Structure 1
Amino acid sequence: MEWKVPELTLSEISTEESTINDLLIHVVGLGVKENVKLDQVTQDVLEQADCVMGSQRQLDTLSAYLGQSKNAQETDYCQLLPSLNDLKAKFDSFKQRGKNKIVLLASGDPLFFGIGGWLTRNFAASQLRFTPAVSSVQAACHKLGISLQDANVISVHGRPVESIRRHLQSNKTLVLLTDAKSTPQVLAKECADAGLGLSKVHVCEAIGYEQEKLSHFIADELVEQKELAFDALNVVVIETSSQTSFFPEFPGIEDEKFITDKGEGKGMITKRDVRLSVLSLLQICDTDTVWDIGAGCGGVSVEMSYWHEKANVYAIEHHLGRQECLSANRNRFGVMANLNLVSGRAPESLLALPNPNKVFVGGSDGNLSLILSQVWQKLEAGGVLVASAVTENTKFALQSFMQTRVAENDALYESKQLAQSKLDLLAGQQLYRPSLPVTLFKFEKLS
C-alpha cells in the first residue's frame, strides 16, 4: 500500500491541513482472534511504517509480522500506545524526527467505540486510513444469536457505571463494553436496583482466545456471586426482563422519583406537568448547549440530560442544599456525562460558560431583569429562551423583557399560563385542589 496524500481539488485545498510532510496515520483493527492473520495490504503497511503503537498484548500478537519490517531494529519502532491526552504530543515528536508513517493498533473496528473517533476529531481525513476487523461486540452477538441492529451498544469503559441507567428499561437488549470497575456483578446490581432483577446476563469472556468462555446468569443471582471472577477481556450482554423499571421510557419523570430538599417529589423542582411544557417549548436537540438557570433540585436539567445524552447541559444553582439534591439526582438518573453542575449565582456564574442556544430560567433570586439581559447577549441567533413566572413581580419583569423584544424586533415570542387542579382528599371527600398558576414565556432570537 502506498503511503501518500490523495490528490485534492482546488476547493478542498483550503479546508485540508495536510501537506507532504504531515503525519499519515493508519489504524489497523486486529479483530478478536488470538492468532491474527493479516492480508498482504496490511502487511505492507506495517513494513513501511516508521512506528507501530499499540497495547503490549497487541504488539505481542503481531510480533511475527513486526519483525519483518525494515525498521524493526530501531529502538522506537514498536511503542506502547499512550493515553489520548499524551498522544498528540507523541505525534508531534515523531514529525520533528521525520517519522511520518505511523500505525496504530486497535481492537476490532477502530471506528466503533474505538480510537478512530478521537482521530477523526483531531486530524484531517486525508491523514487517516482505517483497516477494520470484527469487533468484540459483533462476535458476542454472533455467539449468542442476537441481531446487532436490535441491540443498544453502550460503552462503560472508562465511564461511570451509572451511565447505563438511562438504558435500563423493560425488554431491551444491551451490549456493554466493560472495564475493571464495571464487572458483571456490578452491572447485574444496576439491573436489580432498577427493578429488573430477572434480566438475563450473558458474559462473553476472551472471545477468540483459547480460554474463551460464555456464561449465563439471572441478574438477582449474579449479584450474590461476589467472589466469581471473570476474564478482563469480556463483553456483557443484558436482556432486560419485562418487569417495570424505575427508569422512564417516555418524557415526564414522576415528581416522586426526584430527591429534593423537602422530601422526594416535593420542594424545589419544576413539577412534571410544567416541566413537560418547558421541554416542549425548548425542543432540545443532541447538539445543543443548554443553560438551566436556578436549577433547584434538577427536575428540568436532569430530564433534558436524560433524553438527550449528546446535549451539553449546564445547571446553575447557588443553594447548597439544592446543589446536593441536584448532584444526587444526576447520579440517580445516570446523566453525569452531559449534565454539568455550576455552583454559583446568575448572572455572575454565567460568564465562564460556553454560549448557549437553549436557556431555561426557572429561578432568579430577584435578579431576573439582569439575567435576561445577559442571557440575550450570550444566546446564539436562532436560540430559544424559556422562563417561568409564579409571582407578579417575576411576570412583570418578563412582560417588560417581551416589550423590549417587540421594540427591537429581534425575537419571536409566545406566552401561556398553566393553571391546574389535582384530585385530593379533604375529610374523606374528594376534591380538586388548585396549584398556583405558572406563566411561561418563550423567546426565539432572530439575530
Structure 2
Amino acid sequence: MIIVGVGIGPGMMTQEAEEAIGRARLIYGSKRSIDLAREYIDPDCIVREIEDYKRLSSLPEEAVVLSTGDPMLSGLGYLPGRVIPGISSLQVACARLKISELDVVPITVHGRRMDPEAIASELSRNKSVFLLTDDSTDLEGVCRLLEERGLARSVLALTDLGYPQERIERGSTASPPQAPGLSCVLIGPL
C-alpha cells in the first residue's frame, strides 16, 4: 500500500505524489482528496471513496490511499506501507504567517478529545500551538482556561488554506476568532 499526501489545496502536491497517483490502478480517498488528485488519475484506474476509515488497513497491497495535507500530520500515515509526504496545513500556515515551524507544536483535536493541559504546557514554554480543529472543538473554553491561568496569547484561525477563499482571522484568548469546520488555529506569542 502507498499512502500519498495530496496537499491541502490545489497545486500543493509534490511531483512524487503526482507520479504515484498516475501509476495507480486502485485508489481510495475522501471526496476532497480525490478532487485534489483527479487530474493525475489514469482514466482506467478504479477510484473508490473511503466509507469506513476503520477498515483501511485491510485494503489490498496495490492500493494507493490519498490523504489530504500530509499523511504524517493527523493523516493516514499510520497505515501500513510506504508514505509519500504532502504539503501540510502546518507548513502553509507557518509560511503565510512567516513563523518558524521550530517554534510551533502541532496538536490535533480533529476527531479527538482536546487536552487543554497539553496546550497550556506548551504555551508556558513560550511555544506556539498549532491546532487542527473541527466543529466539536471548544476553542472559547480553551481560551477561557488559558486566560484564567495567565496565559493570554494571540489566537489566529486559518480556514480554507490553499484555496482562493483562504482566510486568516486574528483574535486573542480574551476574544478568540471563529474557527468553523475543519480549521487550523494558532495560539501563541504571535
**What interval of TM-score do these two structures reach, taking the shorter chain for normalisation?**
0.7 to 0.9
1:216 paired to 2:177: no
Task: Give distance in 2, aligned partners of 1:153 and 1:182.
Answer: 15
Contact 2:26 2:64 in 1 (8 A): yes
1:34 alignment partner, SS class: coil
Which residue number corresponds to residue 148 of structure 1?
101
Structure of higher RCO (CA pairs closer than 8 Å, 6+ residues apart): 2
2:171 alignment partner, SS class: strand
Which residue number corresponds to residue 131 of structure 1?
84
Which residue number corresponds to residue 329 of structure 1?
none
Task: Give distance in 1, aligned partners of 2:148 and 2:113.
Answer: 16
- The residue correspondences of 1:84-123 to structure 2 (distance < 5 A) are 84-89=53-58, 91=59, 94=60, 100-116=61-77, 118-119=78-79, 123=80
1:80 paired to 2:46: no
User: Once the 2 structures are TM-superposed, how far is the Cα of residue 231 of structure 1 from its aligned partner?
Assistant: 4.1
1:174 alignment partner, SS class: strand
User: Once the 2 structures are TM-superposed, how far is the Cα of residue 54 of structure 1 from its aligned partner?
Assistant: 1.1
Q: In structure 1, what residue type is equivalent to 2:93?
A: A
2:175 alignment partner, SS class: helix
User: Once the 2 structures are TM-superposed, how far is the Cα of residue 140 of structure 1 from its aligned partner?
Assistant: 0.9
Which residue number corresponds to residue 119 of structure 2?
167
User: Once the 2 structures are TM-superposed, how far is the Cα of residue 208 of structure 1 from its aligned partner?
Assistant: 0.8
Which residue number corresponds to residue 30 of structure 1?
6
Task: Give distance in 1, aligned partners of 2:178 and 2:154.
Answer: 18
Task: Give distance in 2, aligned partners of 1:240 and 1:42.
Answer: 35
Q: In structure 1, what residue type is equivalent to 2:97?
A: L
- The residue correspondences of 1:233-382 to structure 2 (distance < 5 A) are 233-239=182-188
Contact 2:106 2:129 in 1 (8 A): yes
TM-score scaled to structure 1, two decimals? 0.38
Which residue number corresponds to residue 30 of structure 2?
55
User: Once the 2 structures are TM-superposed, how far is the Cα of residue 141 of structure 1 from its aligned partner?
Assistant: 1.5
1:180 alignment partner, SS class: coil
TM-score scaled to structure 2, two decimals? 0.83
Q: Deviations over 1:111-170 (max 9, x none)?
A: 233211x22xxx3xxxx2222122101111122222111222111122222x13133043
Q: In structure 2, what residue type is equivalent to 1:26?
A: I
Q: In structure 2, what residue type is equivalent to 1:164?
A: P
Q: In structure 2, what residue type is equivalent to 1:157?
A: H
Task: Give distance in 1, aligned partners of 2:19 and 2:25.
Answer: 12
Task: Give distance in 2, aligned partners of 1:36 and 1:140.
Answer: 13
User: Once the 2 structures are TM-superposed, how far is the Cα of residue 180 of structure 1 from its aligned partner?
Assistant: 1.6
1:211 alignment partner, SS class: coil
Task: Give distance in 1, aligned partners of 2:106 and 2:14.
Answer: 27
1:232 paired to 2:181: yes
Q: In structure 2, what residue type is equivalent to 1:168?
A: A
Change beyond 3 A, Cα 1:86–1:141: same
2:21 alignment partner, SS class: helix
Contact 1:52 1:105 in 2 (8 A): yes
1:104 alignment partner, SS class: strand
Change beyond 3 A, Cα 1:235–1:218: same
Alpha-carbon RMSD across the aligned residues, in angstroms, is: 2.5
1:70 paired to 2:47: no
1:168 alignment partner, SS class: helix
Change beyond 3 A, Cα 1:37–1:86: closer
Contact 2:153 2:187 in 1 (8 A): yes
User: Once the 2 structures are TM-superposed, how far is the Cα of residue 62 of structure 1 from its aligned partner?
Assistant: 2.1
Q: Deviations over 1:160-192 (max 9, x none)?
A: 22x131330433311111122115434423423
Contact 1:153 1:175 in 2 (8 A): yes
Q: Deviations over 1:293-341 (max 9, x none)?
A: xxxxxxxxxxxxxxxxxxxxxxxxxxxxxxxxxxxxxxxxxxxxxxxxx
Change beyond 3 A, Cα 1:183–1:234: farther
Change beyond 3 A, Cα 1:190–1:206: farther
User: Once the 2 structures are TM-superposed, how far is the Cα of residue 36 of structure 1 from its aligned partner?
Assistant: 4.8
Task: Give distance in 2, aligned partners of 1:139 and 1:44.
Answer: 22
Q: In structure 1, what residue type is equivalent to 2:155?
A: V
User: Once the 2 structures are TM-superposed, how far is the Cα of residue 103 of structure 1 from its aligned partner?
Assistant: 0.8
Q: Unaligned stretches of 5+ in structure 1?
A: 1-24, 72-76, 95-99, 223-227, 242-447
2:83 alignment partner, SS class: strand
Q: Unaligned stretches of 5+ in structure 2?
A: none
Contact 1:51 1:78 in 2 (8 A): yes
User: Once the 2 structures are TM-superposed, how far is the Cα of residue 236 of structure 1 from its aligned partner?
Assistant: 0.6
Change beyond 3 A, Cα 1:188–1:38: same
1:238 alignment partner, SS class: strand
Q: In structure 2, what residue type is equivalent to 1:189?
A: R
Q: In structure 1, what residue type is equivalent to 2:187?
A: I
User: Once the 2 structures are TM-superposed, how far is the Cα of residue 88 of structure 1 from its aligned partner?
Assistant: 3.0
User: Once the 2 structures are TM-superposed, how far is the Cα of residue 55 of structure 1 from its aligned partner?
Assistant: 1.0
